[in-house]
Structure 1
């Protein structure tokens, strides 16, 4: 690591080792994280509500456990940011919505509870679009999140605050969730690692549509080692999730003998079946493929299965928004953002026949994809079809001359793999032509999470061995503020005293 890098930039795996050897204290790490948030978060607005007093108290308890040789779990003392779509006990959870701007849950989301049982210390919440709708993390409660490489540009969404907080070294680990790319896209735009696991690997017992496979929870980190450390603490058994596979961390082998680079069989697609992709992104993708191809056993273009991917996703997504927002839409639609209204309105136009068709189409596409993926170790594609654009623009209206017919169409590179149900991972590998982070999307076989993660570690080592493809790191100290204030969109800030007086504070920045 760069000698000038802040303490908070230390990888989680290295931090845990230093905790165990007594070379670093959880109190020191938490205080360093808080100091960095208080000083630099104003530049990117990644962290929203915070619980600094509680975090310091938990750090002191963690330090005592290490001194006694009895750490609580594999994450004991690490700092954690939690996506603001995920409830946190005694800490403001708003979903970025004016309706919930003063909501303080009494319980943690089960995944958050699992991470805290493993010893992770929640420092604060991370920003999102209102109710997670869209790829741009901005809302009327907290404002917008700027990209750590250029605060005028979008950080992605809906886990944009998490991705930006990690890239800026504000916290060590962050939670994410993913329906159509919500953790993969911001990970790609900010230059960190995000993993969408197969449905059910990480229990999601609070998912309203329990049998739906398109929405999952997943970890976000700055490198593969940290991501795997976090993932093992998220996994487990939960009978409330009908898709839960009950895979134990002990049986989930991702750290054994890794595949050698020269043995990997890789397929690739520039546009994953015809998605609109800007020429500069295609050029960056081709460059990475050209670097990889001579090093591996096989690197061939893949004919992505034909199908009406976009309409299929439209139906699936609208179904979930109908389940969550139809009643409000019918009786008080002004309480919903334009994006959410658009999703519900779209759903009202679909019939039971459309839903049956969508499930048939999804199944057909999945089986065709699996027939190809079964003979490969990885399928690669770009993550985002464009370089980051200005955050004041909700979404790109056109990509390579093609008009986007709805606000989430630009996410097709990530939502199409969601329909397949395969594990998917964002792996940073340098910069694009605009000097912004560029990443690859790594796709595996159905339920082939362990194999995908092993191969990803091998590719990460290859990328890190070359300066041009190493994970890029922003300079927050030199970052200029956004020319449009990141809180410009705030119309419903949390009220004073919205968070209990246990040390939690909620500040619009």
Structure 2
């Protein structure tokens, strides 16, 4: 019974709670049972706040019984990414510097989830300071992929995605700079949306005007992802880039006829990256689904010349700003790739940042013009299938060496530079049973449109309904 309940869509769980077919305490018990049974095999939930969650579930049942109004996530258990500050619950960022860190307040995204009725059950694992697309750190170790526990769960929202796939929670929050919502969604056969910058406002944020990193939703299907976005999104005066559109825009049904849609498909962004043959073999039939849905599909791509320089420059500058003081305090306590990225930031001068911003502006306008001719862009989420979890990152892609921990994720971080919304949706499996995701990219601020396209693809294929063997 517990397993059956834990894998229902969040929308169904919320309806069951409102109809009093199940109590919040029973729903919580189902998820805690899954965590006790499954989490030791994958290490996705790294801090558990079961006693507090039981108190919150009891209060949720009492509120519902009283007839008081309840939020759209009322009674739904959630574990939060361990880079999101949670009042009274340990938040480590996967770093030895913060093993005893217990924030005294929730950050904005957690405020919104809890105000909507979500019950906090704990925290999900991350790479150290969310640096990298493979989730491991010296505090908690590695998170493993539920579809093959010898493989990576991706990152940096790897614990969140693995927990979704394994039925440990039905909704998950995350963040994305270079693919940290999209890559783990692809690796774990779930859905992850990198929203437009400002769609989900962040606070506190030391670099409040920065648009490189965003927060966003993950779920096991697109409709649940949209439900969570409806809670996360909306204006807030504490964020200088917050968009004014209310979150409720995303709560409406996502049904859309794709007939006549102008679809661009690219396996490599015009030679900007190389994807493994195994990835492209899965995605080829997935792209044909759009033709069956009445779309006009053409292999082409926008010109993203300069995207690599833009991303690496702005990322290094951001990392030095955020973590340079830790490198100075004790360089041996930071993983080598993170220290390298900070050092790269220290090599930058004002003209380097200015050049990156000019290049990014040029890319924005080329992409804007591209979307005058095409409605949506399709490409791989990740250039590789889930790789050996003992590695920090793939050493090569079909024999082509990958020099740094960033190289193998160009398919995601080049899209980051465009500023457009990007959705990772399940697109099939390799013969070995490893998940592969399709990346759906839309025009500037077209978040809802991207969700509608992903929903139509999902309904036509059903790949997201395949559960991992440990279920």
Deviation per CA, 1:377-405: give whole Å up to 9, x if none.
32111111111111110001111322212
**How far apart in 2 are the matches of 1:243 and 1:362?**
17
SS of equivalent residue, structure 2 residue 26: helix
Q: 1:308 aligns to what?
A: 306
5 Å-filtered alignment, 1:95-114, equals: 95-114=93-112
Of 298, 301, 323, 1:325 maps to 323
Instruction: Confirm or deny: 8 A CA contact 1:197 1:423 kept in the other structure.
Output: yes
Counterpart Cα distance in 2 of 1:471 and 1:123 = 24
The answer to whether 1:176 aligns with 2:170 is no
**Where does structure 1 differ by over 3 angstroms across 4 or more consecutive aligned residues?**
none
Aligned pair in 2 of structure 1 residues 174, 256: CA closer, same or farther (>3 Å)?
A: closer
Q: State the 1:40 CA deviation.
A: 1.4
Alignment of 1:382-461 (within 5 A): 382-461=380-459
SS at 2:469 equivalent: coil
- Alpha-carbon distance in structure 1 between the residues aligned to 2:48 and 2:41: 16
Aligned with 2:153 (options 145, 155, 176): 155
Residues 230 and 250, structure 2, Cα contact 8 Å, conserved in 1: no
Paired residues for 1:177-326 under 5 Å: 177-250=175-248, 252=249, 255-256=252-253, 258-273=255-270, 274-326=272-324
Task: Report what 1:132 is aligned to.
Answer: 130
- Separation in structure 2 between the aligned mates of residue 216 and residue 470 of structure 1, nearest angstrom: 24
**Match for residue 472 of structure 1 among 453, 466, 469:** 466
Match of 1:87 among 85, 88, 97: 85
For residues 229 and 254 of structure 1, do their structure 2 counterparts lie closer, same or farther at Cα, with a shift above 3 Å needed? closer
Matching residue of 2:349: 351
Tell whether the 8 Å contact from 2:2 to 2:34 is kept in structure 1 after alignment: no
User: How many aligned positions are there?
Assistant: 470
Asked whether the 8 Å contact 2:289–2:460 carries over to 1, the reply is: no
TM-aligned CA distance change 1:45 to 1:257, over 3 Å: closer
Judging changes above 3 Å, is the alpha-carbon distance between structure 1 residues 267 and 447 closer, same or farther for their aligned structure 2 residues? Answer: same
In the TM superposition, residue 290 of structure 1 has moved relative to its aligned partner by: 2.3
Deviation at 1:26, TM superposition (A): 0.9
Checking the alignment, whether the CA contact within 8 Å between 2:319 and 2:341 is kept in structure 1 is yes
Equivalent position of 1:481 in the other structure: none
In 2, Cα distance between equivalents of 1:303 and 1:100: 42
Unaligned segments of structure 2, at least 5 residues: none
Partners of 2:154 and 2:221 in 1: how far apart?
A: 19
CA apart distance, 1:435:
1.3
- 1:246 Cα offset (Å): 2.2
| Alpha-carbon distance in 1 for matches of 2:312, 2:304 | 17
Output the TM-score relative to the length of structure 1.
0.89
Q: 1:123 aligns with which of 108, 121, 124?
A: 121
Cα separation, 2, equivalents of 1:121 and 1:309: 40
Take 1:258 and 1:8, find their aligned partners in 2: how far apart are those partners? 25
Cα distance, 1:174 vs structure 2: 1.0
1:104/1:26 CA distance change after superposition, 3 Å: same
Greater mean alpha carbon deviation, residues 237-246 or residues 24-33: 237-246
Kept in 2: contact 1:265–1:297 (CA 8 A): yes
Contact 2:282 2:428 in 1 (8 A): no
Alignment CA distance shift 1:257-1:196 (3 Å): closer
Distance 1:269 1:284, change over 3 A: same
Deviations 1:287-331 (A, max 9, x none): 211232233231111232041221221101001001012223234
How far 1:205 moved relative to its partner?
2.2
Q: Note closer, same or farther for the CA distance 1:372–1:89 as it changes in structure 2 (3 Å cut).
A: same
TM-score by length of 2: 0.96
Unaligned runs of 5+ in 1: 478-509
CA distance in 1, matches of 2:325, 2:179: 26
Cα distance in structure 1, aligned partners of 2:269 and 2:204: 31
Going from structure 1 to structure 2, the CA distance change for 1:441 and 1:387 (only over 3 Å counts) comes to same
| CA contact 2:2–2:30 (8 Å) conserved in 1 | no
